Amino acid sequence: MTLSLKTRAERFVATLRHCQNLGLTVESAEGNTLLMRLPYSEKIVGNPVDGTVHGGSLTTLMDTACGTAVFSVLPGFELCPTLDLRMDYMKAAEPNRDLFAEATVIRIASSVVFTRCEVYQGEERDLVAKCSATFMRIGEEMTPPDFRARIEQGDDVAGDAV
């Protein structure tokens, strides 16, 4: 049974409790690029005066988008811890609008995976933030069997395999 990249990505994100709290969803995953959505909500606001979301929620969005792209693109079921993140905040996100992160895996080396990500709002792709993130490869054999089973089978086994 081969899982689509999107199914792998969705099941991976489903295991991340904090991401469930934020309501992160995988919009698409094709080739080496993944699109993730962070819905606007009052609980992630950092500036209560104007309702702007806190940069920390964008950090979680970008770390998760890049990390999920890495997990879904690697051939095995490798869990890769983040080595570093470098983020630039171009402008404050507009309140009451969802945020989208487009993460791309740039290079998969033997020990390290390089990624980049852009966060934008709306169809006009208004750029809010961008990031460069690097992940360590610790090997597929480090993935616990029960975690692997959760990804292979999903919480709901019916249906979504390709």
Partner 1 sequence: MSFEKNLQQAQSSGEFQPLVEAIPYAQLIGLKFQRFGQDVLFQLPKNDDNIGNPILPAIHGGVIGGFMELSASLHLMMSMDTGTLPKMIDFSLDYLRAGRHQDTFAECQVWRQGSRVANVAITAWQTERSSPIATARAHFLLAR
Site residues (vs partner 1, CB under 8 A) = 15-19, 21, 42-49, 53-57, 59-64, 67, 79, 81-89, 92, 144, 146-147
Query: How many other β-carbons are positioned within 10 Å of the β-carbon of residue 31?
Result: 9
Cα(74)–Cα(80) distance, rounded to whole angstroms? 10
CB of 113 to partner 1, least distance (A): 14
Least distance to partner 1 from the beta carbon of 162, Å?
25
Of the pair 17, 107, the CB lying nearest partner 1 is at: 17
Contact at 8 Å (CB) between 52 and 46? yes
Torsion region of 14: left, alpha or beta (phi above 0 gives left; psi -120 to 50 gives alpha): alpha
| Nearest distance in Å: CB 145, partner 1 | 11
Q: Which residue bears the tokens 């852009």? A: 118
| Cβ-based nearer residue to partner 1, 48 or 159 | 48
Would you say 92 or 108 has its CB closer to partner 1?
Answer: 92
